[in-house]
Amino acid sequence: MVLETHDVVKRFSGLVAVNEVSLHVAEGEIVGLIGPNGAGKTTLLNAIAGLAPPTSGRVVFLGKETTGFPPEKMCHMGLSRTFQIPRPFPKMTALENVLTAAVFGKKERGGGGAKTDPWRASRELLEFVEFPVSADILSENLNTVQLKRLDLARALASSPRLLLLDELAAGLTEGELKDIIRIIFKIRDRGISILMVEHIMQLIMSLCERLVVIQFGTKIAEGPTQDVARDPKVAEAYLGSSH
């Protein structure tokens, strides 16, 4: 198993944002983590990635207990994530941002044996994610869609085993959705497992073999995508929200 969470709880003073959520991601899987706005999806990703450690419960990554490990350590172990709101270094070019992640992201694992030129590897990653503008553009000049694509290249630069995606496709046009679906499959074909938070049904239905649904921090459904999509509890959770 690449990732397991066991009864993960995250409390913010009075609020239980994540309530005893257990889930798993197997090798090579693309799992969708869905639920209405405010359900606790980003909070759960943060608990897994070490950005805001769980109040209780356990996180097991690649068979090792990693509960409360800081994000740098998780990154070095092979866990990467994209952000709902990407914040690259604004005064660096797109290429320099990816390079920074390539240089600092994979210390302990050495990153694939033969000495690869990090500049070349970073350029190739921008090509791999089909970055739509020049690699030499200053990051402060990128629009939301370009920022998300850069963030994806940045996340891949540390050669992860597991990638957590937080609403990577928000704001994309129909054509861009097709592109991102293709790119996510390419990532999985590189042997990277994926846990993705997403609201866009088209994307979820095309990409995810399995879904975990949370509402008010609690898991309400889990299983093969087609089954979960037909579950009346899930429709109800969405109808009762702003979606």
Ligand X SMILES: Nc1ncnc2c1ncn2[C@@H]1O[C@H](COP(=O)(O)OP(=O)(O)OP(=O)(O)O)[C@@H](O)[C@H]1O
State the residues that interact with ligand X by CB under 6 A. Answer: 12, 15, 17, 35, 37-43, 84
User: Could you tell me the smallest distance in angstroms from the CB atom of residue 207 to ligand X?
Assistant: 18
CA-to-CA dists, residue 179 to 28, 54, 124, 169, 171, angstroms: 20, 35, 17, 10, 13
**For strand 79-81 and strand 218-224, is the pairing parallel, antiparallel, or unpaired?**
unpaired
* Identity of the residue, 41 or 154, whose beta carbon is nearer to ligand X in the bound complex: 41
Among 42, 66, 97, 139, which residue interacts with Mg ion (rule: CB under 5 A)?
Answer: 42
* Identity of the residue, 29 or 167, whose beta carbon is nearer to ligand X in the bound complex: 167
Tell me if 57 sits within 8 A of 6, measured CB to CB.
Answer: yes
**Residue 40 contact partner, candidates Mg ion, ligand X, none, CB within 5 to 8 A by sort of partner:** ligand X
Determine if 225 is a binding residue for Mg ion (CB under 5 A): no
User: Could you tell me the smallest distance in angstroms from the CB atom of residue 125 to ligand X?
Assistant: 26
Tell me if 27 sits within 8 A of 2, measured CB to CB.
Answer: yes
Determine if 97 is a binding residue for Mg ion (CB under 5 A): no
* Identity of the residue, 19 or 93, whose beta carbon is nearer to ligand X in the bound complex: 19
User: Could you tell me the smallest distance in angstroms from the CB atom of residue 176 to ligand X?
Assistant: 20
**Residue 235 contact partner, candidates ligand X, Mg ion, none, CB within 5 to 8 A by sort of partner:** none
**Residue 140 buriedness (CB in 10 A; 0-12 / 13-18 / 19+):** exposed
d(CA 210, CA 225): 5
d(CA 139, CA 187): 23
**For strand 3-12 and strand 56-61, is the pairing parallel, antiparallel, or unpaired?**
antiparallel
* Closest by Cα among 36, 1, 2 to 163: 2
Tell me the sheet residues that pair with 4: 24, 60
* Identity of the residue, 44 or 157, whose beta carbon is nearer to ligand X in the bound complex: 44
From 84-92, 107-115, 136-144, 216-224, span contacting Mg ion (CB under 5 A) = 84-92
Tokens of 22: 């257990």
* Identity of the residue, 25 or 102, whose beta carbon is nearer to ligand X in the bound complex: 25
* Identity of the residue, 84 or 100, whose beta carbon is nearer to ligand X in the bound complex: 84
Q: Which residues contact 3 (CB under 8 A, 6 or more apart)?
A: 23, 24, 25, 48, 59, 60, 61, 162, 193, 195
**Residue 57 contact partner, candidates ligand X, Mg ion, none, CB within 5 to 8 A by sort of partner:** none
User: Could you tell me the smallest distance in angstroms from the CB atom of residue 175 to ligand X?
Assistant: 24
User: Could you tell me the smallest distance in angstroms from the CB atom of residue 216 to ligand X?
Assistant: 9
Interface contacts to Mg ion, rule CB under 5 A:
41-42, 84
